[in-house]
Amino acid sequence: MLQPAPQDSGKSCGVDFEVKAFATDSTDAEEDKIPKKSSVRLLIRKVQHAPLEMGPQPRAEAAWQFFMSDKPLHLAVSLNKEIYFHGEPIPVTVTVTNNTEKTVKKIKAFVEQVANVVLYSSDYYVKPVAMEEAQEKVPPNSTLTKTLTLLPLLANNRERRGIALDGKIKHEDTNLASSTIIKEGIDRTVLGILVSYQIKVKLTVSGFLGELTSSEVATEVPFRLMHPQPEDPGK
């Protein structure tokens, strides 16, 4: 479901899952013609657990060439694993190799949630749900390696409209939506909202006229945010 703003009213945009049972004396009765008094519905919460095997360690590299600089600015971003669990800190290792004549003034890392609403269209919503900024600058012809720790939590995003959440039952609390796993043969529209996550690292580079001509460059690294497997497989 998509989190409404505090002032919004009415039902939230999302998908509900329910179990329905009914009594009938016909073997070919159509569901939509069953009287309400002859059926019961039970709203359930669908939880998707992380797979047992993780994918490769996420990593991305990018380079940019600037005017009046013979050599490029190089950025490498890496995570220590592909899947993180809800409530688990995410260490992001950033290496900036600045071979230019400019200064990298800011290094920011974000966790971005990407929600693709396939219920009625193909809208994309990209929302930052966590952010950290390095205090160091990277002067010309130098290298910096820094680890920034991000913690994406619903508690820090409760007032933000459009954040995708896992479903909840009645007054139970919930969490940021888990990454969607699409199995082969499944109709995407049945899932309603497809959710993915990425780390974005953004660099602010000085210009010839200071703040007026600063430029920003960025790269992204995908990862998955999910629930761990239950201790007892039978649960």
The answer, as to whether pTM is greater than 0.85, is no
- pLDDT-based confidence at 118, cuts 50/70/90? confident
Position 67 scores a pLDDT of 76
Count of other CB atoms within 10 angstroms of residue 149? 11
Cβ density class 45-61: b for 16+ within 10 Å, e for less: eeeeebeeeeeeebebe
How large is the average pLDDT for residues 108-116?
Answer: 96
Question: Of 77 and 161, which is predicted with more confidence?
Answer: 77
Instruction: Enumerate the domain spans of the chain.
Output: 17-226
Residue 170, phi-psi category: left (phi > 0), alpha (psi -120 to 50), beta (remainder): left
Which residues does 173 contact at the CB level (< 8 Å), separation at least 6?
Answer: none
Out of 2.60.40.640, 1.10.10.10, 2.40.400.10, 1.10.1370.40, the CATH code matching 17-226 is 2.60.40.640
Taking the CA atoms of 2, 226, 233 and 54 in sequence, report the sign of the dihedral they define.
positive
Position 54 scores a pLDDT of 86
Task: Give the C-alpha separation, 223 to 60, whole Å.
Answer: 12
- pLDDT-based confidence at 142, cuts 50/70/90? very high
Proportion of the chain above pLDDT 90, given as a percent: 49
Nearest Cα to Cα of residue 13 among 27, 2, 29: 2
How large is the average pLDDT for residues 142-166?
Answer: 91
Question: Of 117 and 136, which is predicted with more confidence?
Answer: 136
Report whether 89 contacts 150 (CB < 8 A): yes
Report whether 225 contacts 157 (CB < 8 A): no
Position 76 scores a pLDDT of 98
Is the model's pLDDT at 62 over the cut of 80? yes
Report whether 92 contacts 199 (CB < 8 A): yes
